């Protein structure tokens, strides 16, 4: 696959690592059949060996050179201790995944070392290992920079669901019901999935149309969220899955992008007996959407491993201050009224489509 004007080649003796890569990024990214000799090549070696892992652990007995901070998710950091591996390379420890990353600023090769699989992680199709997750996180970080840096737009913490060519974007605070609303719309409303957690949004200068494109992400599998959806009970023993898993299970499709005609901002109110819907202005919607934008920066560990693009200053996001023509609402909900809220969102989309058609 090509990322940041270079081609990435993955080598591993674990077939699952290679299939997981293809499953995770498809259909968001095209895989290349052959290497283009005219572009730089970066190779990832993935090793799963208790003996090699234990040997590297012996190199971490002393004090680290320093401790870096990397993003585990868009709101949680993890520490990475940095050690000198040899004259040219550094080694970093990942305490969350129990991995070692070895590489250099000059790039070329990054080696990921994990323990032999022991089923401690139950992820996509049950095959994900710590080393596979570490590999995906490294490539996803550079892929997002490449995609957004070249294409423009803003990265927003939201899910986007599409039906009949039009989409609703749903944003909300953590545990407000965004994922449950997403699952309700897919399972009961037969909405297609654009993205479950992060969206690349853009406003066309001429038409002022807001479009949203999907970003591949891991989906945490929490039993309280899954319990109301019988078809998803098969994921109960998994730590997470990917978008393709949900689309197959719920018999819906994945849309790479869609025109957004409605915005819904979810907040939690434990005392409600039914959802409360409040219309908001375009200016208020723009302000709220801006609060859900995610910063996109290259973590220092990616630079030290030779995975950062040549120009990796923070991306300057375009403004999202012109959302006129979009139906924008706030939903106050709780766990007891989320199915009803999803039905209201579906009706909101229908009404927004009608208004959009009349406007055009």
Each residue's pLDDT tens digit, 169-198: 999 988 888 889 999 999 988 999 999 988
Query: CATH 3.90.79.10: does it fit domain 153-359?
Result: no
Q: How many CB atoms lie within 10 A of CB 164?
A: 10
Strands (E), 72-174: 77-84, 90-94, 99-103, 109-114, 154-157, 159-163, 166-172
Name the residue among 328, 319, 329 with its Cα closest to residue 208. Answer: 319
**One-character DSSP codes across 216-250:** --EEE--HHHHTT-GGGGGGTT-SEEEHHHHHHHH
Each residue's pLDDT tens digit, 61-112: 889 999 988 766 666 778 899 999 988 899 999 998 899 999 998 878 999 9
Per-residue burial over 53-66, b if 16 or more Cβ lie within 10 Å, else e, is beebeeeeeeebee
Q: How many CA atoms lie within 13 A of 59 on its CB side?
A: 19
Whole-model pTM: value is 0.83
Asked if residues 243 and 124 have their Cβ atoms less than 8 Å apart, the reply is: no
- Chain centre distance of CA 213: 12
Model pLDDT, residue 126: 46
The angle, 0 to 180 degrees and rounded to 10, between the axes of the packed helices 338-359 and 178-187 is 70
Extents of the domains making up the chain: 2-148, 153-359
Statement: residue 279 has pLDDT above 70: yes
Please tell me the distance from the alpha carbon of residue 64 to that of residue 301, in angstroms, as a whole number: 14
Give 318's pLDDT tier (boundaries 50, 70, 90). low
Mean of the pLDDT values across residues 44-72?
Answer: 89
- Name the residue with tokens 């934008």: 293
The pair of three-digit structure tokens given for residue 163, joined into one six-digit string: 């039906």
Please tell me the distance from the alpha carbon of residue 336 to that of residue 271, in angstroms, as a whole number: 10
What are the C-alpha distances in Å from 28 to residues 96, 133, 190, 243, 270?
27, 18, 21, 11, 37
| Phi-psi label, residue 98: left if phi above 0, alpha if psi -120 to 50, beta otherwise | left
62 — phi, psi (to 5°)? Answer: -85, -175
Model pLDDT, residue 117: 77
- Is residue 207 classed as helix, strand or coil in its secondary structure? coil
């Amino acid at each position: 696959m090509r990322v940041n004007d270079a081609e990435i080649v993955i080598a591993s003796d674990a077939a699952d690592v290679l299939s997981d890569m293809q499953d995770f990024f498809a259909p968001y990214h095209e895989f290349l059949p052959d290497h283009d000799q005219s572009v730089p090549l970066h190779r990832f070696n993935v090793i799963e060996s208790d003996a090699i892992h234990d040997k590297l652990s012996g190199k971490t007995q002393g004090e680290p050179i320093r401790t870096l901070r990397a993003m585990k998710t868009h709101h949680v950091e993890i520490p990475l201790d940095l050690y000198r591996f040899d004259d040219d390379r550094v080694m970093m420890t990942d305490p969350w995944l129990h991995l070692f990353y070895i590489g250099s600023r000059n790039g070329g090769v990054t080696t990921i070392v994990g323990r032999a699989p022991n089923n401690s992680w139950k992820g996509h199709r049950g095959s994900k290992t710590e080393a596979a997750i570490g590999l995906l996180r490294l490539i996803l970080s550079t892929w997002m920079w490449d995609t957004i840096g070249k294409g423009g737009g803003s990265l927003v913490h939201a899910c986007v669901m599409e039906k009949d060519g039009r989409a609703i974007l749903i944003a909300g605070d953590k545990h407000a019901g965004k994922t449950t609303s997403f699952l309700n719309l897919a399972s009961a409303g037969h909405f297609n999935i654009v993205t479950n957690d992060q969206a690349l949004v853009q406003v066309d200068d001429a038409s002022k149309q807001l479009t949203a494109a999907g970003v591949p992400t891991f989906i945490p599998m929490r039993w309280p969220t899954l319990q109301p959806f019988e078809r998803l009970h098969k994921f109960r023993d998994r730590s997470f899955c990917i978008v393709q898993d949900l689309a197959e299970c719920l018999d819906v499709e994945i849309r790479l992008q869609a025109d957004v005609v409605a915005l819904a901002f979810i907040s939690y109110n434990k005392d409600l007996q039914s959802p409360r819907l409040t219309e908001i202005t375009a200016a208020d919607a723009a302000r709220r959407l801006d609060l859900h934008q995610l910063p996109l920066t290259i973590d220092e560990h990616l630079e030290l491993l030779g995975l950062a693009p040549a120009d990796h200053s923070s991306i300057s996001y375009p403004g999202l201050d012109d959302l006129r023509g979009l139906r924008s609402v706030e939903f106050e909900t709780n766990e007891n009224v989320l199915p009803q809220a999803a039905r209201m969102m579906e009706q909101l989309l229908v009404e927004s489509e009608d208004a959009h058609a009349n406007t055009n």
